[in-house]
Amino acid sequence: MAKPLVLVTGNIKKLEEFRQLLGSTFPYEILSKDIDLPEYQGEPIEVAEAKCRLAIDHIKGPVIVEDTSLCFNALGGLPGPYIKWFLKNLGPSGLYKLLSGFDDKTAYALCTYAYSSGEEGAPIKIFSGRCDGNIVEPRGPANFGWDPCFMPQGFDKTYAEMDKSMKHSISHRGKAMVMLKDYFVKNGVPKI
Ligand SMILES: O=c1[nH]c(=O)c2ncn([C@@H]3O[C@H](COP(=O)(O)OP(=O)(O)OP(=O)(O)O)[C@@H](O)[C@H]3O)c2[nH]1
Ligand SMILES: [Mg+2]
């Protein structure tokens, strides 16, 4: 029997959105595993690849990992992959204040999925999704990370103020998931 795909994440909200986006009709079994993977430094793709390599060592089968960046254009793309620590220490309102000295409040959210079949020598496949927007004063429920201070371009609501189906239809994660699903539809999952 084929091994299930394992999404390795320690973040319950990411897992929740992953399951919602994947939908119930996805034809493969998905398990999740909370392994506290190290937070790597580097470009988003390098970070996702490094996480994926480590996840393969743990799972020894097909794995998916996700890394999320929030990039402020006025700061040359920072915090980027380091958003977790900025958020932890500053909160959404502190992220907004970080840009108080800049006219440019534009930012983009980036979701990078890295997938490997886990087989010896198998490549790591990358699927990225980007959503452009602005950093605003926090609005809406503070249920998930920086959602209250990110307002996607062309909308007057923050991610936090949107209902989930609206967020999913335009979000960084929603866009990455379209590509990930498309890959599995075309290639299937390995029978190992
Ligand atoms: O408001 C948000 N809307 C989102 O859609 C979203 N996606 C991720 N995040 C936060 O951004 C950081 C990424 O760091 P991250 O990718 O390393 O995740 P993580 O360490 O929490 O989990 P993982 O690495 O075990 O999968 C973490 O603080 C996440 O909570 C989001 N916040
Ligand atoms: Mg992490």
The ipTM of this complex is: 0.98
Q: What are phi and psi of 129, to 5 degrees?
A: -135, 140
Ligand 2 center to 47 CA (angstroms): 9
Q: Are 133 and 98 in contact (CB under 8 A)?
A: no
Residue-wise pLDDT tens digits, 84-96: 999 999 999 999 9
The span from the CA of 91 to the CA of 169, in Å, is: 25
pLDDT digits (tens, 9 = 90+) for 5-59: 899 998 999 999 999 999 887 767 788 888 888 888 999 999 999 999 999 999 9
Instruction: For residue 104, give the amino acid letter.
Output: D
Q: Read off the pTM.
A: 0.95
pLDDT band for position 189 (cuts 50, 70, 90) = low
Relative to the alpha carbon of 15, which ligand is closest? 1
- 107-158: per-residue pLDDT in tens? 999 999 999 999 989 999 999 999 999 999 999 999 999 999 999 999 999 9
Residue 116 bridge partners (DSSP): 63
Q: Whose CA is nearest to atom 19 of ligand 1?
A: 11
| Structural domains of the chain in order of their starting residue, each with its CATH number | 5-187 (3.90.950.10)
- Cβ(115)–Cβ(52) below 8 Å: yes
If phi > 0 it is left, if psi is from -120 to 50 it is alpha, else beta; for residue 113 that is beta
CA of 4 to the centre of ligand 1 (A): 24
Q: How confident is the model at residue 185 (pLDDT cuts 50, 70, 90)?
A: confident
User: Three-state SS for 49?
Assistant: helix
